[in-house]
Structure 1
Amino acid sequence: MRALGTGMLIAVAFCAQAQDKRDVLYQVSTIDALLSGIYDSVATVDDVLDQGDIGLGTFDAADGEMMVLDGVVYQATFDGSMNVMPPSTGTPFMAVTHFVPDRVLDAPELENFAAFSAWLEGHLPSRNIAYAVRVDGHFANITYRSVPRQHKPYPPLIDVIRNQAVFERKEVEGTLMGFWCPTFMNGVNVAGLHLHFLSADRSVGGHVLNVSLKDAKVGIDDTNGWDVQLPMVPAYLNADLGADQGSDLKNAEQGGALPDASAH
Structure 2
Amino acid sequence: MLPLLLALSATVQSGGRAEGQVERGRDTLYQVSTIDALLDGVYGPMATLADVLPHGDVGIGTFEALDGELILLDGQVYQAAADGVVRPMPPETATPFIAVTHFDADQSLTPPAGQDFAGFKTWLEAALPSRNIVYAIRVDGHFGSIRYRSVPRQQTPYPPLAEAAREQVFFARDDIEGTLIGFWCPSFTKGVNVPGFHLHFLSADRRHGGHVLDFTLAEAAVQLDHTNGWDVQLPMQPAFLASDLGADRSEALHAVEQGRPAPAD
TM-score normalised by length of structure 2: 0.93
Return the offset for 1:71.
Answer: 0.3
3-state SS of 2:246 partner? coil
Partner of 1:204: 208
- CA distance in structure 1 between the partners assigned to 2:60 and 2:95 by the alignment: 11
Amino acid in the other structure paired with 1:14: A
Identity of aligned residues (%): 59
- CA distance in structure 2 between the partners assigned to 1:117 and 1:188 by the alignment: 21
Partner of 1:262: none
Following TM superposition, the consecutive aligned residue runs of length 4 or more in structure 1 with deviations greater than 6 angstroms are none
Write out aligned runs for 1:202-241 (5 A). 202-241=206-245
Contact 1:82 1:202 in 2 (8 A): yes
- CA distance in structure 1 between the partners assigned to 2:254 and 2:162 by the alignment: 10
Partner of 1:121: 125
3-state SS of 1:137 partner? strand
Amino acid in the other structure paired with 2:233: Q
Partner of 2:57: 53
Return the offset for 1:110.
Answer: 4.0
3-state SS of 1:122 partner? helix
Partner of 2:10: 14
Contact 1:56 1:66 in 2 (8 A): yes
Amino acid in the other structure paired with 1:149: R
The range that moved more, 108-117 or 11-20, is: 11-20
- CA distance in structure 1 between the partners assigned to 2:116 and 2:103 by the alignment: 25
Equivalent residue pairs, number? 254
Return the offset for 1:16.
Answer: 4.0
Return the offset for 1:17.
Answer: 2.1
- CA distance in structure 1 between the partners assigned to 2:128 and 2:228 by the alignment: 13
Query: Which of these residues, 187, 192, 195, is aligned with residue 188 of structure 1?
Result: 192
- CA distance in structure 1 between the partners assigned to 2:243 and 2:97 by the alignment: 15
- CA distance in structure 2 between the partners assigned to 1:126 and 1:50 by the alignment: 28
Return the offset for 1:46.
Answer: 1.1
Partner of 2:252: 248
- CA distance in structure 2 between the partners assigned to 1:121 and 1:28 by the alignment: 26
Return the offset for 1:32.
Answer: 0.4
Aligned-residue Cα RMSD (Å) equals 1.3
Gaps of 5+ in 2: none
Q: Does 1:149 align with 2:153?
A: yes
Query: Which of these residues, 176, 181, 185, is aligned with residue 177 of structure 1?
Result: 181
- CA distance in structure 1 between the partners assigned to 2:50 and 2:5 by the alignment: 16
3-state SS of 2:167 partner? coil
Contact 1:110 1:116 in 2 (8 A): no
